[in-house]
Amino acid sequence: MPISATSHSFAAGDIDYINNLNLVRADVGTLITDANTNPKGTMASQNANSVAITGGTVGGLTSLGIKTTSPIEEVDINGGTGDGSAYDSVLALTRTSSTGNKLAGKLVLDDKNTNYGNIVLRVKTTVSGAENASYYTDALCVDGQFGYVGIGTTPTVNLHVMRTGAGDCNAIFKADTDGAEIFVDAKNNYASYRTRINGVNKWGIGHVGSANDLYFYDYVAGSVRVAVTDAGNMLVGTTTDNGSDKLQVNGGASSTGRIVSTSSSAGVGYATGAGGTVTQTTSITTAVTLNAVCGKIALFNHVFTAGTKVQFTLNNSTLGADDILVLNGSSGPIRILAYAIGNTIVLDPLDSGSGGTNYIKFAVIKAVTA
């Protein structure tokens, strides 16, 4: 039932509509009443495509159709039949500020394709008292086919957040009472997930630049604690990759279980940088100092007698009271057996003579008695 040319009393069950092509115009200022002639609104304005009602709430309506004679809900705004933005169904919410700027937001039903429509929330992000489609930004989109939700973008997954142009793309998941936050940040060549308390960064997980390395960053200390390289190497306490070892630790490491190697060639041992060398001077019994967990001792050029033992002291700050000093005797020029008593190295030559410089190799095995 169209609105009459002068006034209309709404009765329960009426279906009233405004049709773009068949609008029955009413005079501005016409009083709109309900079935009991109680004032419910005043015709404020009208043109070929719209009617504005002010001054109250129209009563008695069960549904209102705009550009449709068959509304499917209490209010139905129909965009018409066709494809493209010209057929979008739009609900606008507007107000004017004290400075004359028009504040606006729009709820739009557009077409994803000929089978599904998306719901888009647009907000006016350009300060102006005028109206222009370019002044609006799509803030939220709900995909009509899969129910995906997009913030700043048309979604392709369940929740899709994106910022177009310069600046960060952020999302915050925050607890209501204790200030705990999960902060997601993405910008040029950088993406991270951060934990925060009351806006203060604590830990971050992400990558920087075009490399595929993953970093675990301690914001309190201001340093990377753990990094995983694109080669699958894990670095603890360092970001310098030696390019070969899967686990690299700058600092101590401990385990409550066993640490073993299944390699038929690599084994378990010390790496380059752990060892050292020292040359014994003066005599075969002169003490030497080498503060390293492994190394090589060049012995004094002594004339050995087979079966006659000699000994000297190895001063080594890495050798604890309960540690084990493992020795490898010389295989030439003179064959020498070697063993340790504490930090005393005992040499038991199998041959007589000197023949030049002989070497003893050692390694410290860290041990405890409890």
pLDDT at 168: 65
Which residue type, as a one-letter code, is found at position 243? G
Residue indicated by tokens 């041990």: 367
Q: How far apart are the first and last CA of the chain?
A: 96
Q: What angle do CA 207, 212, 216 make, to 5 degrees?
A: 35
pLDDT in tens, 59-72: 445 667 778 778 88
Question: Looking at residue 55, what is its pLDDT?
Answer: 43
Instruction: Give the residue among 306, 299, 305 at the shortest CA–CA distance from 345.
Output: 299
Q: Is the pLDDT of residue 272 over 60?
A: yes
Least Cα distance to 79 among 110, 52, 104, 50 occurs for 110
The conformation of residue 217, written as its DSSP 8-state character, comes to E
Separation of alpha carbons 274 and 240, rounded Å = 17
Mean pLDDT (whole number) for 110-116: 95
Report the candidate in 288, 278, 363 with the shortest Cα–Cα distance to residue 328: 363
Residue 308: Cβ-neighbour burial (10 angstroms; 0-12, 13-18, 19+) = exposed
Number of Cβ within a 10 Å radius of residue 304: 25
Q: Does residue 75 surpass a pLDDT of 70? A: yes
- DSSP state letter for 121: E
- Structural contact between residues 155 and 164, judged by C-beta atoms closer than 8 angstroms: no
By C-alpha distance, which of 1, 7, 4 is closest to 33? Answer: 7
In the three-class reduction of DSSP (H, G, I as helix; E, B as strand; rest coil), residue 86 is classed as helix
Q: Is the pLDDT of residue 352 over 60?
A: yes
Each residue of 186-203: pLDDT tens digit? Answer: 766 667 888 888 878 888
**348 neighbors 341 (Cβ within 8 angstroms):** no
Parallel, antiparallel or unpaired: strands 200-208 and 214-218: antiparallel
Average pLDDT over residues 50-55: 45
Six-digit token pair at 132? 């222009």
**Strand 31-34 with 9-10, pairing:** parallel
**Look-up: residue for tokens 């200022």?**
29
| CA 243 – CA 175 distance, rounded (Å) | 41
- Asked if 183 and 199 touch (Cβ cutoff 8 Å), the reply is no
Contacts 24+ apart (CB under 8 A), 189-195: 192/217, 194/219
Distance of alpha carbon 54 from alpha carbon 26, whole angstroms = 14
Q: What is the pLDDT of residues 228-259, one digit of tens each?
A: 998 899 999 998 999 888 999 999 888 899 88
Q: What is the dihedral of CA 244, 245, 246, 251, to 10 degrees?
A: -140
The whole-angstrom separation of Cα 60 and Cα 52 is: 18
- Mean pLDDT (the chain, rounded): 82
**How far is residue 207 from each of residues 37, 48, 184, measured CA to CA in Å?**
70, 58, 12
179 pLDDT above the threshold of 80: no
Q: Is the pLDDT of residue 361 over 90?
A: yes
Q: What is the C-alpha to C-alpha distance for residues 40 and 66, in angstroms, rounded to an integer?
A: 19
Edge-first strand listing for the sheet containing 294-298: 275-279, 294-298, 359-365, 324-328
